Structure formats: C-alpha cells, structure tokens
A and B are shown apart, each in its own frame.
Chain A
Amino acid sequence: MMPEAHLSGESCAVCEGCCTRLEGIGVRLNGNAVLHDVNFHTHCGELTVIIGPNGAGKTTLLRAILGEIPCSGRLHFTRADGTPAAGRPRVGYVPQRLDLDRTAPVRVLDLFAAALSRRPVWLGVSRHWREATCRALAMVEAESLCDAPLGALSAGQLQRVLVALALHPLPQLLMLDEPLAGMDRAGTELFYRLLSQLRLKHDLGILLVSHDLSAAAQVADRMILLNRTILADGAPEAVLASPPFRRLFGLDLVPPQTLAPVAAQRMARLHHSGLATIRHKGAP
C-alpha cells in the first residue's frame, strides 16, 4: 500500500493481517538467555502494555518481533480469520532512544522524506513530501518542527516526531518502546488520546512498553508482566494485583478499589473475547 494514501488522510481498510502470535520465543545474547518461552497472541485493535523491571527483556522482545535479532520459537503473523498473513506486517516502531549525532545536518523533514519517499534526500525534498510531513506532524501537534534540525529537538519533541513517523505509513502493528520517557504532561495526554483514536479508527494492534504503570493501566486492554518470560498476562488490574507483580515491584501502585468499576467492565469485555483467563507462572 502506498504511503501517500495514508498521508492524504484517507481512512485505511480494516487491518489485513495484524494478529501476532508468539510461540515459545527465546533469545540468547552473548550466551545468556535473555528471553525464554515467551507465548502470547495479540489481536488487531488490542492495546497490550508490556511491563517489567529493568533488564527484563522488553526491548529485546520488540527487536525479536521486528526480526532484528535471531530468536528460537515461532512467530506467526495472521489475518483476522486466522490464516497466515502474506509476509511481515507493516510495523510502526518508536525506539526507546535515538543515539543521535546532534551536529548532523538533518532536519525533521529530511527524516520523513528519507523514510517515506523514493527520491534520495540529497536531491532535495519535494513540496509534496513537505506537505505530507507537516500533516503527519500535525497529528502529534508538532507541525512547527518540520524544518527544525533533528539534533535541536528536546527529548519530548523528538518522541513526538518519532511517533508521527511510526504512524506513516499507517502500520498494522504499532510497537512503542517507552515512548513517554522525556515527554511532558501535555504530550503524554495527547499521546494516549491519539492511541485510543487510532485503535478505534484503524483497528491496529499496539504493543506498548511502559514504566508509567497507572496511566498505562487506564488505556490498556491487556497487560503483560515480563521478566525474561511472561509472569502474568491479562487485564491490567488483575496483573497489577498478581503475586508476581507484587513480588517484583514490592508495592501496590494502583489500589484495587479505584479500579474496581473499570475492572468489571473490562473483565466483561475480555470474557467476551475469550481472554479472561489470567495465567500466572512461577518465577524462573
């Protein structure tokens, strides 16, 4: 599908193949088992938040799904009806941080043009892509940054730009690795609003790695507690109340009673979609 269609604001058809199923995924880096026996299945339109302590393998899991690092086990991308999707899904990815050379002569516009257009950026950027970039940036209320040097952006501004880039062309699977680190309150609220809108409108599957547990719990359909393997998987309030979560984080971040009404509602929805079972596994 051509990126132009998305940038011009036309709505996308319901996802063609964004269900992702992980079967016994394991990753070894330099001889150490970073991940083992990771199993889960996400569906289009579902927002899954992945939480876990530092070094739990959250970023590694995203990179394995991207195919950047070799992993054992099986990774399936399927259509909504369960048949295998043709090839890999279109992925939008927001990295945890960008190891940028701040002196590089690169504008935000150059980054978008390099990612989206066929014309090499050293031959200049056409008016068409300038307008497309401005529209893309407008989604994250950052259209004023179009001509800004990438190296001059604050951490929060850069995150907004990267989120806008990840959404073009509109992905089938959106993976965000702590996109809120360094973002201010207004940016965070805008971001969560944007995620809900996108999910409703375009039915895309979202994997969000986050440390912002209570905010993530408000928007997530599902939460996965990862520490080398999946320790808890289910509705956010259930995961936040689970023994492995308490053991790892040592505290109750979200008092269960404040979540009770939301929980009931969500449990009903999950029950409907067959995801109500909450699996607990022992720590490795």
Chain B
Amino acid sequence: MNFWETACNLAPWSWAQYDFMRVALLGVLVMAPLFALLGCIVVNHRLAFFSEAVGHAALTGIAIGVVAGLANPLGAMLLFAALLALATTLLRRWSAASSDTIIGLLMASVVALGVVLLSRGGGFAKYTRYLVGDILTLTYADVGGLALLLLVVLAGWIRGYNRLFMVGVCRTLARSRGISPDATEAVFTMLVALAVTVSLQWVGLLVINAMLLLPAATARNLARSASAYVGVAIVVALISGVTGLLLSYYVNTAAGATMALVATGLYALSLVFRRAPAGG
C-alpha cells in the first residue's frame, strides 16, 4: 500500500489526507468493476429481483448469526444467501408460479424473519449499518478481500462468460451445445450471493442493487456490442463510484447512497443519448 499512501500524500485535495477516505477510494476502485461485471449478467438474465433478494437473505443471515452468538456473522450470511440462491433456482425450475412471484415471496419472508430476530429486545438500531452501509469503515484488509473476490469473478468471467451468455440467449439452445444451463446459472447466482453478502456492510442493503444494476442498464443504452456492453458498464461504475464517494465527502452524505444517485444520473443521461432503438 506504500505506493497508494505516497500518491495520496502528494494529492492536493483535503480528503486525501484522511485514512478512511484513502481506503474507501481504493475500495470503490475494486468494487465498481466487481459489481459492473456481475451486473451485466444480472441484467441479461433478468435477475434484478433475485440479487435484491440475496441482500435481504444476508440480513437474515446476520440475525441468525447474532442469535447463535457468532462474533462475525459473515459465515452465517453467506450460508443463508447461498441457501436462498439455491432455493430460488430450484423453485424457478419446479414451480409453475412466475419467478418474480417466487422471489418476492421468499424475499418478504426472509426479511421478516431477519427483522423479527434482530429486533428482539429492541436492539435493531445497531444493525442499521447493514441497511445503509458505511464504506468509510473499510480497512486495507477488507479491500484485499474484495480484490480477491474481484479476481475470482474475473477468472469466472474469462472461463464462463460465453456459457452464461448462451444460457441468457436461450436455455434450450445452450443445452444443445453441451452447456448445462442449471449448473451455469447456479455457479453464477452463488457468485452474486457472495459479492452482495460480502459488500453489504460497506454498501448497504438499500443501495446495493443500484450499484449492481445501474452501470449495466446504462451500458445497454449506449453499447452496440457484447464487449462494449461490459466495458461501458465498468467505466460507468468507476465514474459513479469515485464521483459519488468524493461528493459525499464534500456535501457530508452517506457514501453508498450518493454513489447510487450519481449512477442514476448517468443512467438518465444515457437515456437521452441512447443509440437508436433496434428493429421495428
């Protein structure tokens, strides 16, 4: 981190003198591409509702961890989010109800369970950081963990993106070409569950889906090819992350929500400059 510290010391801005801002900026530079990459497939596969539900499941995971007396609830969060990912995949396959109904139903139940458990004895206030998130509590070790996660996702995107892409186009077509749609999607949903759960305490349940969806949705309006789609999403995520963080420093607002608002602004701009709608 020496290089980063030196660069920050040389920077002329006041925020660069604060450790928490230095770490947060580094964290944003890692999280932005992470969410952009995942978001591209979430949007392609119309899983926006699912990623929202995973965040809610993580909240219940925290509650169960607290009730079980665990010092660090991350394990319980991951387990519960993974269970929810599995449950939705299975229900989508076996139930006749549409998947948004199923996910909405699961989400409502798990969040109710989580809040009931956490509010027992009136102590819910101390868990609100999972709702809003606080990126300023990041440490260099956390950033290291996030960087590792980014590497895992990158490796997955290099090995498996084409398969995911084909499943998104048509499941039966993917199957005919030797791809197992269920296994591919299961691995992908696990990655989303992992990323959302790990980042929840810094980004917050209420805005995490914005970070996941807005860059990809913006890129869809601007890109013409599959490679431009991912590239634009990463650039949009980085711009909104960095701008949002610095803006939150100067106007003294919650960082995660400010980033989400900047991303929303970029999305609105992309609607104006949208490429001509296809076909007709």
Contact = CB atoms under 8 A, between A and B. Distances in A.
Interface in A96-122: 98-107, 109-111, 113-115, 117-118, 120-122
A121 B161 contact: yes
B230 A122 contact: yes
Contact of B219 (A105, A111, A114, A121): A105
B278 A152 contact: yes
Contacts of A107: 224-226
* B interface majority secondary structure: helix
Interface residues of A, number: 42
Contacts of A125: 227
B177 interface: yes
A68 interface: yes
Given A68-B171, A120-B162, A105 B176 contact: no
B272 interface: no
A95 interface: yes
A120 to B, nearest CB: 4
A119 to B, nearest CB: 8
Contacts of B175: 66-68
Contacts of B251: none
B169 A111 contact: yes
Nearest to A165: B173
A148 B125 CA distance: 53
Contacts of B165: 110, 114, 121
Contacts of B169: 98, 100, 106, 111, 114
B279 interface: yes
Given A104-B220, A122-B157, A99 B227 contact: no
Given A66-B172, A121-B165, A151-B278, A106 B226 contact: yes
B68 interface: no
Contacts of B231: 122
Contact of B96 (A30, A100, A111): A30
A153 interface: yes
Contacts of A153: 279
Nearest to B177: A115
A91 B177 CA distance: 7
A105 B225 contact: yes
A99 to B, nearest CB: 7
Interface in A191-217: none
Contacts of B178: 88
A49 interface: no
Interface in B1-44: 40, 44
B173 A104 contact: no
B279 A102 contact: yes
B36 to A, nearest CB: 11
A120 B223 CA distance: 17
A21 interface: no
Interface string B151-184: 0000001110110011001111101111000000
B269 interface: no
A120 B161 CA distance: 6
A125 B226 CA distance: 9
B170 A98 contact: yes
A114 B224 contact: no
Contacts of A93: 172-173, 176-177
Contacts of B177: 91, 93, 115
A1 interface: no
A92 B40 CA distance: 28
Interface in A18-75: 30, 63, 66-68
Contacts of B40: 122
A151 B279 contact: yes
Contacts of B171: 68
B162 to A, nearest CB: 4
17 contacts: A67-B175, A68-B172, A68-B175, A93-B173, A98-B170, A103-B277, A105-B219, A105-B226, A107-B225, A114-B161, A114-B165, A122-B161, A122-B229, A122-B231, A124-B227, A151-B279, A162-B173
Interface of B: 40, 44, 46, 96, 157-159, 161-162, 165-166, 169-173, 175-178, 219-220, 223-231, 277-279
